[in-house]
Amino acid sequence: MQAPALAGQSATYLARQLNYFKSGIRGGDQSDTLAQQMRAMAGILPSEAAVQSVSLFLANLPRTQPAVTISGDADKGYKLYNMKCGACHGPNGQGNEALKAPALAGVGDAYLARQFTLFKTGARGSHPEDKPGRQMKMMSTHLSNDDLRDVLAYINTIGR
């Protein structure tokens, strides 16, 4: 379904994203049909209590290891990750609540690659009310596609 693995992700992050979808902060770009689908699905949550309930449920599920679909140089990716990603997303890809940065480890490389491309093209992170998204949009310009594959190869090693 081309969706991220959400189990174990921060409930705060999940609730924020569901609310972003509900309000149109995410899912409004016509080029991102998957986000448009998610926007419609989030729209069926009738209240903030429902958003919180779904977020807590997902956050408390045990993490899984999605299939590896991208190959690269994990050693090079480790160095790049620590230089460009780790300050916000944590040294082990666990995320950082204070910076509103989600966990990357265990989410799935195909999803992360697609989201990175969406940030790079402006299809994600362009809404004026999405401050964390705007930060990621800016940071996406600092990795080439080859470097991204290496970073994802490293992220794939975390927790395995």
- 3 in a structural domain: no
Domain count, the chain: 1
Residue 40 lies in a domain: yes
CATH code of residue 96: 1.10.760.10
Predicted structure pTM score: 0.94
Domain interval for residue 64: 11-156
**Annotated binding-site positions:** 38, 85, 88-89, 136
Domain membership flag for residue 1: no
d(CA 151, CA 80): 6
Q: What is the DSSP string of 15-53?
A: HHHHHHHHHTSSS--TT-HHHHHHHHHHTT--SHHHHHH
Residue 143: inside a domain: yes
Q: Is residue 125 part of a domain?
A: yes
Would you list which residues are annotated within the binding site for heme c? 38, 85, 88-89, 136
User: 47-99, pLDDT tens digit by residue?
Assistant: 999 999 999 999 999 988 899 999 999 999 999 999 999 999 999 999 999 99
